[in-house]
Structure 1
Amino acid sequence: MLLSEMADYLRVIQVERGLSQNTVKAYQQDLTAFSLFLKEEKKGLSQVDHLLVLTFLNQLRAKGRANSSIARMVTTLRKCFAYLKKEGVVAHDPMQTIKPPKKAAHLPAVLTVAEVDRLLEVPDWSKPLGLRNKALLELMYATGLRVSELVNLTLDDLHLDLALLQTIGKGDKERIIPVGEVAIDWLKTYLRDSRPKLLKKQKSDVLFLNDHGRPISRQGIWLLIKQLVKEADIKKDVSPHTLRHSFATHILENGADLRIVQELLGHSDISTTQIYTHISKGRLTQVYDEFHPRA
């Protein structure tokens, strides 16, 4: 159970700072875990010191939590205790001497162009759901949209005559993204031939629907991608985010400027985008090793 003082903090960051629902949910999960730890230790917030926090973090590590997960926990607790001290709930901030573990370098899985082509050929677009799947995949690869952005797209967000769409990303930031001709053609076909059949007699302005005529969920897209990847006989661990990674990597490999890719992906910090330069360099090394006669 979440401590009431921490619940107050969550309300503040959601209302006053305008953080996304997913970010607030992540904070809530972290603070709930810490609240349960304090309950087990029979400690109140005023009794928390840096040694108690270290004990909690070591427990997480012993349970197999990744460094990235523990680093996020440290960030969550740091921000929360800064708020609690400012509000006079605690006299001392135990997080001032706590440093997060270093994140291990992690390059996301990326599909090759050939693998993307195989995946895009899987849906049977002669059927309503297959046509929806085809349009959905083409749009994901054409734009690099996050899944949360994809499921929230409405008909009003599409400006196909201008080859553009608008979306609200992390931090409630709006951005405009160009859409390629192939994806536009499949979207128009889906809107004409498939979506009305899925919608049936219901009303919805959400772009992508499930077979019950309701908005497709994040989990629904995750399961769909897993199934299509299996049918495409792709052995990599692929998630919906993999198409976003592949989009960014492929346009960088073809000469796109890093700042442009940052804008397309909606990254607030270019250092987040720079991970794709490492992937591209890895691809260069792979090509060199494969084709240079003396590699």
Structure 2
Amino acid sequence: MNIQKVLDRKKLDEKVLGMPWFVQQFIDYKLPDLSPSTLLEYVRDYEQFFNWLRAEGLSAATSNQGVTLEELEVLHMENVVSYRLYLTTRTEGTNSRITVSRKLSSLRSLFHYLSQIAEDDQFYPLLKRNIMAKVEIKRIHKPKDTAAKLKGKILEEDELIDFINYIHEGYGQDVSNNKQALYAHEQNKERDACIASLILNSGLRVSEVVNLNIDDLDLGNKMVHVFRKGNNDETFKTPVYFREQARDDLTHYLSLRQTRYHAPKKEKALFLAVPNGQKEGKRMTKRAIQAMIIKYAKRFGKPYLTVHKLRHSFATDYYLQNDIYKTKEQLGHASTETTEVYAHLTDKTMSEAIERRAE
């Protein structure tokens, strides 16, 4: 099991103890099919919903653990509408339409399980009436809309190489008057450029980069082996290829990994950082990589650029030379529907259709 899954499984086991027994049963039912990370989000959604039920007087429970099936059975449609309104208008962190849709979808999954799958000792459904079955959850992100939002916010053509070079050299020149920033850059520029290069030359997710170990690397074949999202076979790592530039940057980084980050022998992580006040390197965190890319992006003149948009940048560039099925495979998408974003970003399918018509 990869590092992030281990952490999320631990958090999930802790969180689920504060849930009603039927939620614990639902999580056990879903564990073989969904990752701990996904189920942890489910439990957080249920925690918020049960807190709201109790605050609104729709449950008499003194804690979320005490919420009953009977209280869920008697909910009215107006209650669901009120909850949706609460999610979209509450002052402390208003949710986007996509987030609201996901939270309602989590509830639908739970209610469906309780009313259609789970049963009591008399073989009757645990939930006799399912109010969430009446809730229509509209599909929010269509590929074309997602592509429109990404326009101008990713790296294109020569910018991919320019951004990597900027991390190597340009950023140091821009912060030359800031001794602290310059020192940090001198210490980490090879590592930082290597991470950006690997994503921009393979399309790896940030979680996949975080979980990489040294023995996952196959420099000779320009390949890394990663646990891919959605694959719950904990014994299998998927091979993902990267371009020549990433091999050069990886070779450079590996030549100084040990001396620069003082990695103990037991530390197998590929990308390391030395925490403040400590002498030995530890695995970089997802948050650290995200913050690192944002830091360089702002100075580079692409303030909207994030670590995930580096993946989008690679995918768009890769799709220009390959078909949608190869792009889907390279990115580890479950469906070509997700990969369609890059068709809209490049307008490749439309331009090819026009050319074919003209022949």
Q: TM-score range by the shorter chain?
A: 0.7 to 0.9
Q: Partner letter of residue 5 of structure 1?
A: F
Q: Is the 8 A contact 1:129 1:194 kept in 2?
A: no
Kindly state the Cα deviation for residue 102 of structure 1 after the two structures are TM-superposed: 4.0
Secondary structure at the residue paired with 2:220?
helix
Contact 2:104 2:137 in 1 (8 A): yes
> Alignment partner for residue 270 of structure 1, among 336, 347, 353?
336
Q: Which residue of 1 aligns with 2:206?
A: 147
The answer for the alignment partner of 1:293 in structure 2 is: none
| Matched ranges for 1:225-236 at <5 A | 225-235=293-303
RMSD: 2.4
TM-score by length of 2: 0.72
Q: What residue is the counterpart of 2:102 in the other structure? A: 72
* Shift of residue 284, structure 1, vs aligned partner: 9.0
Pairwise CA distance, 1:103: 1.2
Aligned counterparts of 1:217 and 1:162: Cα–Cα separation in 2:
27
Q: Match for residue 81 of structure 1?
A: 111
Q: 2:139, 2:52 → 1: CA distance?
A: 23
Equivalent residue runs for 1:1-295 within 5 Å = 2-14=19-31, 16-17=32-33, 19-42=34-57, 43=59, 44-63=71-90, 64-85=94-115, 86-87=117-118, 88-103=125-140, 105-107=145-147, 108=150, 109-124=153-168, 127-172=186-231, 174-201=237-264, 203-212=266-275, 213-235=281-303, 237-253=304-320, 255-281=321-347
* Letter of the 1:61 counterpart: T
Per mean C-alpha deviation after superposition, the further-off stretch among 66-75 and 56-65 is 56-65
Larger CA Rg, structure 1 vs 2 = 2
Match of 2:6 in 1: none
* Amino acid across the alignment from 1:240: V
Cα distance in 1, alignment partners of residues 219 and 134 from structure 2: 52
Q: Deviations over 1:171-193 (max 9, x none)?
A: 22642211111111111121122
For structure 1, the residue ranges without an aligned partner over 5 or more in a row are 286-295
Query: What letter corresponds to residue 73 of structure 2 in structure 1?
Result: S
Mapped to 1, the partners of 2:202 and 2:259 lie a distance apart of 24
Percent identical pairs in the alignment equals 24
**TM-score, reference length from structure 1:** 0.87
- Give the Cα–Cα distance (whole angstroms) in 2 for the partners of residues 98 and 67 of structure 1: 15
Q: Sort the Cα spacing of 1:158 and 1:46 in 2 relative to 1 into closer, same or farther, 3 A.
A: same
1:242 aligned partner, one-letter code:
K
Cα gap change, 1:218/1:161 in structure 2, threshold over 3 Å: closer, same or farther? same
**Could you tell me how far apart the structure 2 residues matched to 1:170 and 1:269 are?**
12
Unaligned stretches of 5+ residues in structure 2: 1-17, 60-70, 119-124, 170-184, 276-280, 352-359
Letter of the 2:284 partner, please give it: I
Q: Distance in 1 between matches of 2:114 and 2:37?
A: 22
Q: CA deviation at 1:66?
A: 1.9
Find the aligned partners of 1:283 and 1:246 in 2 and give their Cα distance: 18
Cα drift, residue 11 of structure 1: 3.6
Identify if the C-alpha distance between structure 1 residues 196 and 13 changes in structure 2 by more than 3 Å, giving closer, same or farther: farther
1:128 Cα deviation after fit: 4.3
Could you report, residue by residue, the CA deviation over 1:146-192 in whole angstroms, capped at 9, with x for unpaired residues?
A: 11111001112111111111111112264221111111111112112
1:21-70 per-residue CA deviation (whole Å, 9 max, x = no partner) reads 32122212211111111111232323334332222112212334222112
Deviation at 1:202, TM superposition (A): 5.5
